[in-house]
Chain A
């Protein structure tokens, strides 16, 4: 480029001017990046190490005992999910399984899921039941194994690192939609009655608490009542399973996140005759399955949610 003119007619001087603008852009970008990341306070890596940050994992719909072309090895994929959680590099404060632990509520399946959950490296393992965990006994076997310390039909709440966590049971009514019932609604109302409104709230349930697709039962008929008790809180996050696919929706102060499954995908709402296990082409199943990890840093408004495909 030492020639005064290149074939397209760019002079050396013009090239220099381009270079100067480019250089200015780079310098400004670097400076701006420094400023913005400085505004952010602790950088991302430090955030993950923050001992005051809450970090938990949601897994869902393992359906142990399912046999079908949609997933020939649900035990294997659940096992991979557990390994993936253990390999996150940071021991989560707790792991929540949001229901459908088993496919058919048999004692063997409950035994198997409890053993497998025992392999999680975490501070605590929590569960809520799915409808597959109470197919013939209104959830008795589920509660015998996972219900200690819970109220009513298996609901409970706890506090961890400044976050109030509520775990609800909306799978026991014999109806198409999820249902909480009067006792559980009272529990929610009393549970949050004395909490300051700036307490971050996390609610777990199996069936979504929002109307994701009522025609397929993807909603909870009395959820509005429960959510009304949470309206005054500045940050409410509802995490559910059941629908075997990722979906999120925000309604005022409440954000809903449906999680995917470790077992088999279901169709998107309204696509096909019903929520029937989908058989994906060979090799694609893993992309539909996954685990979710969630971080909450004190002082932040929202939870940082990250969904990971099954490795």
Chain B
């Protein structure tokens, strides 16, 4: 009788242990999205979710991994590729014409957040040019993918 009961119970215990292990793994998986609003472990320093309710976020305070280089680059050509403006910050002199070229398959725009320039929808391969006539710092984004942000700095 004891053997009988043990033979019955052993698989149950084995199943239990397997389930415990499975639960541990699953909890690891499932809590991942739940903690997604915490700062990620990746390289990008982001504003934490806790800051969100206070709405102290500034668009430039949260560089994404996509917009890799944050150092200003002196060029008048910006490529739009892999859902990012590259380089993310360009520095030009007043009077310079900057050219954006969409090298993605998906469409993009380059649209100044506070007015100034506004490209039409740029399909794959299309370009847009804008000549900066006033010095200043121009933050812009893609209206189709607003997570894509970048900056043009115009010096006198």
Contacts and interface: CB of A to CB of B under 8 A. Distances in A.
Contact of A176 (B66, B82, B146): B146
Contacts, number: 125
A136 interface: yes
Interface in A257-311: 268-270, 273-277
B49 interface: yes
Contact of A268 (B36, B111, B114, B149): B36
A8 B7 CA distance: 10
Contact of A273 (B33, B65, B146): B65
B52 A211 contact: yes
B100 interface: no
A175 B82 contact: no
B7 to A, nearest CB: 7
Interface string B31-51: 011101100101010110101
Contacts of B10: none
Interface residues of B, number: 48
A221 B65 contact: no
Contacts of B156: none
Interface in A49-98: 66-68
B1 A136 contact: no
Interface in B51-98: 51-55, 57, 59, 62, 64-66, 82-84
Interface stretch (A29-37, A150-158, A212-220): A212-220
A10, A215, A247, A249 — most chain B CB neighbours (10 Å): A215
A139 to B, nearest CB: 11
Given A269-B33, A270-B42, A273-B84, A135 B47 contact: no
9 contacts: A8-B7, A9-B1, A67-B105, A134-B143, A176-B146, A211-B49, A217-B147, A276-B82, A276-B83
